[in-house]
Every structure is written in structure tokens, then in C-alpha cells.
Amino acid sequence: KAGVTQTPRYLIKTRGQQVTLSCSPISGHRSVSWYQQTPGQGLQFLFEYFSETQRNKGNFPGRFSGRQFSNSRSEMNVSTLELGDSALYLCASRPGPGGETQYFGPGTRLLVL
């Protein structure tokens, strides 16, 4: 089975712009979670989607949003980018809520200038 794929792998944006990141889960996995990874902060949970519905949401401002499509692919959007949004954004999939093992993609490295 192909693993979790994320596109693009690298992205450079300027403050005030918006960005959309994409995640394709492992085939058959219907739950997708997003995390922000920064040095010293570890992985911070953004949100989880299951069957096109947001199931959980972390403590991030409303500039961070996401959605999931009927084929379980997910996108996250960050509007009005700030310098502090520079991070590695990771997507993880699992068969469904309650599945213990999350499988992570390689991440999208976002740099905001």
C-alpha cells in the first residue's frame, strides 16, 4: 500500500498570503489528522476529519481551517499568514476514529517571509 502523501513538500509564502496544503491518506483510511511541528513545541494537533466531518479541533486560531473530501483526501488552509506559521505541517491517517496507529506523511515545510 502506498503511504500517506502530502503536497507540496516545500512552500515559501509571504506574510498576509494564504496557503493550501493537501494530504492523501493510505487507501482505506478514512480519518485524517493535521499537526503543526515546530522546534521546541513538538507536534501540535490542528484538527481531525472523518467522513468529511471535523471530529476534533486543537487550539489554533480560525485562520487555520481544513476539509475532507468524499475520497478521504484532505486539505488544510491557512489564511493571512504570519511569520510564526513557519513550520512543518504533518498529516496522519488511520482507518477510523479509535484506530490506535497513526501513519504520518513526510510533511509540508512552510516558510513564511
Partner 1 sequence: QQQVKQSPQSLIVQKGGISIINCAYENTAFDYFPWYQQFPGKGPALLIAIRPDVSEKKEGRFTISFNKSAKQFSLHIMDSQPGDSATYFCAASYSGNQFYFGTGTSLTVIP
Q: 1, 53, 70, 101: which one contacts partner 1 (CB under 8 A)?
A: 101
Number of residues that bind partner 1 (CB under 8 A): 25
Selection from 104, 82, 78 nearest residue 93 by Cα: 104
Selection from 35, 31, 45, 13 nearest residue 88 by Cα: 35
Strands 87-94 and 103-104: antiparallel
Per-residue x/- marks for partner 1, 27-66, CB under 8 A? ------x-x----xxxxxx--x-------x-x--------
3-state helix, strand, coil split of the chain in percent (to 5) is 5, 55, 45
Which range touches partner 1 (CB under 8 A), out of 11-19, 69-77, 78-86, 97-105?
A: 97-105
Q: Which residues bind partner 1 (CB under 8 A)?
A: 4, 33, 35, 40-45, 48, 56, 58, 90, 92, 97-107
